[in-house]
Chains A and B, each alone.
Chain A
Amino acid sequence: MIRLRGIRKVFNAGKPNEFTAVDSVSLVVEAKKVTVLKGPSGSGKTTLLSIMGCMARPTAGRIELEGKEITSLPERFLTDIRRDNFGFIFQSLNLITGVTALENVMLPAYPVGEKHSLLRQRALDLLGLFNLTQKALSKVEWLSGGEAQRVAIARALINDPSVIIADEPTAHLDTKLSIEFMENMESLRNKGKTIIIASHDPIVFDSEIVERTVELRDGKVIGK
């Protein structure tokens, strides 16, 4: 359960190009539900997402994760929390090219210091869940769009996080793959994970599995 109180994020403070991406946002994201942040580009969805996911610190305001305040935590603590609790799926997938699908999935767990062979097996199992076992040792640039998408989801799951955050996941996908993506999210929610998606794609925010929509415009919440 993530609670935000009066969150503000300002970029380039004091300079001529000062820009407030998020302005006084307060909301609670409930656990084990699918929440969608809806709004046009520039509405602050991505920034809000990164703050919720412990990727960035707010300029002002407070944020609590499971009742514990994490606003002013220094990077190394924040990263530990992020790694343990959140899994990210990015708009442009952001898989590392030149590296195999398997290694891409293992990467987020490298700093934890788990035994390599155990980690490898877990990654293979995850890829198996998405029917990607055959492609595990292929370099990601050789995968199809749908396969790469599933590798990205598998990567987000490697540290067994309780929250999945996706930023415009369907931006580069066709309808079929977009629907497939939402189905994957549904099965994850059914396994007890919290899902937060930022999107301005109707396939996402109009989907039946969405339990809550937060509408944003110019960094402010205009509808819940």
Chain B
Amino acid sequence: MILHPAVIALYVSSALIGFMVFYSAWHGLRILWKWDISSGSETQLQLERSTYLISTLLAYAFGVQLLSFFLYIFTAETLHTLFVGAMCAAGSLNVNAYGYPALLLKLLNFLLAGLWLIVNYTDNKAPDYPLVRKKYILLLVIVPFIAAEILVQAKYLVGLRADVITSCCGSLFSPDNVGVASDLAALPALHAEIAFYLGMALTIAAGSWFYLKGKGGCIFSLLAGSTFFISIASLISFISLYFYEMPSHHCPFDILQGEYGYVGYPLYISLLTGGVSGIGVGVLALFRKNKSLAEIVPAVQKKLALVTVLMYLIFTAIATYRILSANFTMRG
């Protein structure tokens, strides 16, 4: 293991997130067991009070999760010089089999935590806590994913030893290599561009339609989710290239560095926020039929749709601006 302060920080953050989620889940179990909204007993009042604790802990854990996602990438970037052949964060992550899975789990947990918070927010708007059971069952479902992330990240970090040979990001993301990351890059740029712009256009259109007319929420959510994944693939496949102005540099992490004006942040944050909100619309649609939520769900869904539309617009705008203004072209 490499005893770098950033590595220690990653351990600390995953320990804290783990503590917060497990502690919340324990309270959640108590709620599932004894909740009775119509009772005025002390137990019920205590349980209602504990919902505030859980909301606070999970909101905080969600924030820390997002930050630790970026810290993880940074740490990989900082450590890349210790590994032969690693040119940037992508190479560091490839040093052992746990690097990329940990990153994916972090992303997944960020999405799950975000969805939980959306459900919680909706539940709190109704006077009778209609989603209380579903909410805490969802929390229990999230727990194993968090546990998995902590373990996988730990296995990755413990297995890091300086000087290990790794394939560098050039060969990792070049079309010749076989493996997940290089498959994405192998997406022909033209196809990826079409998929990206089409996905974005459809999603933004569906979102605006839903916001104005209140119809087509599920289709919008599906589009938002698909576009989220298409956008990630597009980042690797062609968008990053325009920022680096190099046809073979497919790594999506370097745009977080200062030399590219930290443009990675607005890109990633807008995409992640938009993605969570968009998928949230679909999740909330599951509860449309609930009596107390009949009016609340559409209202919240519309807010979320607006967020997604705006965030996706920002993402597309930044990417397109760069594509149009760079001294670089994928054609010819």
Q: Which residues of A line the B interface, CB within 8 A?
A: 12-13, 57-60, 71-77
Q: How far is the CB of B75 from chain A (nearest CB, A)?
A: 40
Q: What are 13 A-B contacts defined by CB distance under 8 Å?
A: A13-B41, A13-B42, A57-B40, A57-B45, A58-B40, A59-B41, A71-B40, A72-B40, A73-B127, A74-B37, A74-B127, A74-B128, A75-B48
The B contact surface, by secondary structure, is loop
Q: How far is the CB of B264 from chain A (nearest CB, A)?
A: 35
A89 and B227 alpha carbons, distance in the complex (Å): 57
Chain B, 80-129, CB within 8 A of any chain A CB = 124, 127-129
Residues of A with C-beta under 8 A to B38: 72
Residues of B with C-beta under 8 A to A71: 40
Q: Mark B41-83, 1 if CB is under 8 A from A, else 0.
A: 1100100110000000000000000000000000000000000
Q: Which 4 A-B pairs have the closest CB atoms?
A: A57-B40, A59-B40, A77-B127, A58-B40
Minimal Cβ-Cβ distance residue in A for B36? A72
Q: How far is the CB of A209 from chain B (nearest CB, A)?
A: 34
Residues of B with C-beta under 8 A to A57: 40, 45
Residues of B with C-beta under 8 A to A76: 124
Residues of A with C-beta under 8 A to B42: 12-13
A132 and B38 alpha carbons, distance in the complex (Å): 45
Q: How far is the CB of A134 from chain B (nearest CB, A)?
A: 41
Indicate if the CB atoms of B48 and A74 lie closer than 8 Å. Answer: yes
A75 and B127 alpha carbons, distance in the complex (Å): 9
A59 and B41 alpha carbons, distance in the complex (Å): 5
Minimal Cβ-Cβ distance residue in B for A8? B40
Q: How far is the CB of B135 from chain A (nearest CB, A)?
A: 14
Residues of A with C-beta under 8 A to B40: 57-60, 71-72
Minimal Cβ-Cβ distance residue in A for B128? A72
Minimal Cβ-Cβ distance residue in B for A15? B42
Q: Which of A13, A58, A72 has the most CB of B within 10 A?
A: A72
Residues of A with C-beta under 8 A to B49: 75
A14 and B129 alpha carbons, distance in the complex (Å): 26
Indicate if the CB atoms of A74 and B41 lie closer than 8 Å. Answer: no
A201 and B38 alpha carbons, distance in the complex (Å): 37
Minimal Cβ-Cβ distance residue in A for B45? A57
Q: How far is the CB of B243 from chain A (nearest CB, A)?
A: 41
Indicate if the CB atoms of A72 and B41 lie closer than 8 Å. Answer: no
Q: Mark B251-263, 1 if CB is under 8 A from A, else 0.
A: 0000000000000
Q: How far is the CB of B280 from chain A (nearest CB, A)?
A: 21
